[in-house]
Amino acid sequence: MTDLANARPLSVLGLSVAIGVALVVLFVLCALVELLLPGLPATHAWIGLFTLAPVTSPRAWIEGVFYSFVFGIVTGAIVAVVHNAIAARGD
């Protein structure tokens, strides 16, 4: 097991951008599945997290990509800051 006291701090910017990009990719994949297989309910909830517009509209894609990235940035920043704070304690 890794000793938290010796853990390298996470890059807040690096993790934020990585999670933002990951959420954009997930949104695009889910939206594409929804377009290709409209009867498959597996993707409706994920798309609905980021937009209320119909997936066939340009607005849905713009909002979905934008909010996916923004929420990813916020999530990454929170995770990195919390990790770094816990790792710095070294308890």
State pLDDT tens for residues 3-34.
555 668 899 999 999 999 999 999 999 899 88
Number of domains in the chain: 1
Beta strand segments in 1-91, E: none
47 and 6 Cβ atoms separated by less than 8 Å? no
Tell me, yes or no, whether 47 lies in a domain: yes
Residue range(s) defining the domain that contains residue 87:
30-91
Tell me, yes or no, whether 13 lies in a domain: no
33 and 40 Cβ atoms separated by less than 8 Å? yes
Tell me, yes or no, whether 3 lies in a domain: no
Tell me, yes or no, whether 8 lies in a domain: no
Using alpha carbons, list the distances in angstroms from residue 59 to 14, 26, 54, 56, 64: 28, 17, 8, 9, 8
Q: In whole angstroms, what is the distance from residue 39 CA to residue 28 CA? A: 17
- What's this model's pTM, rounded to 2 decimal places? 0.83
Nearest partner of 84 among 21, 1, 15, judged by Cα? 15
Tell me, yes or no, whether 49 lies in a domain: yes
State pLDDT tens for residues 36-70.
988 877 766 888 889 999 988 999 999 999 999 99
